[in-house]
Amino acid sequence: MSNRVVEGRMVTPKKLAEIVEGDSVMEAEDIEDADRQCPECGGDVISVGYMPSVTEFVTGFKCQECPWHETDR
């Protein structure tokens, strides 16, 4: 079960990566718990590794409760 609820909606790893990236992505790995809390609302943060292009691998972080997100770029 790699789909997770984010901001009240069920998302796939690829959909989560696209929310974080703000654009389409090529591949996404399974969603994981990031073991940290959102700096905006204190909600649980989840992470997803994804490839926005063939030459780049990014880890994205997203709050499950609010729009906050960031990447490790």
User: Which positions touch Zn ion (CB under 5 A)?
Assistant: 38, 40-41, 43, 63, 65-66, 68
In the complex with Zn ion, which residue's Cβ is closer, 33 or 40? 40
| Placement of tokens 């997100």 in the chain | 69
In the complex with Zn ion, which residue's Cβ is closer, 21 or 51? 21
What's the token pair of residue 42? Answer: 């204190």
In the complex with Zn ion, which residue's Cβ is closer, 40 or 56? 40
Closest separation in Å from C-beta 66 to Zn ion:
3
What's the token pair of residue 13? Answer: 């790893």
Q: Which of 51, 12, 35 is nearest to 60 (CA)?
A: 51
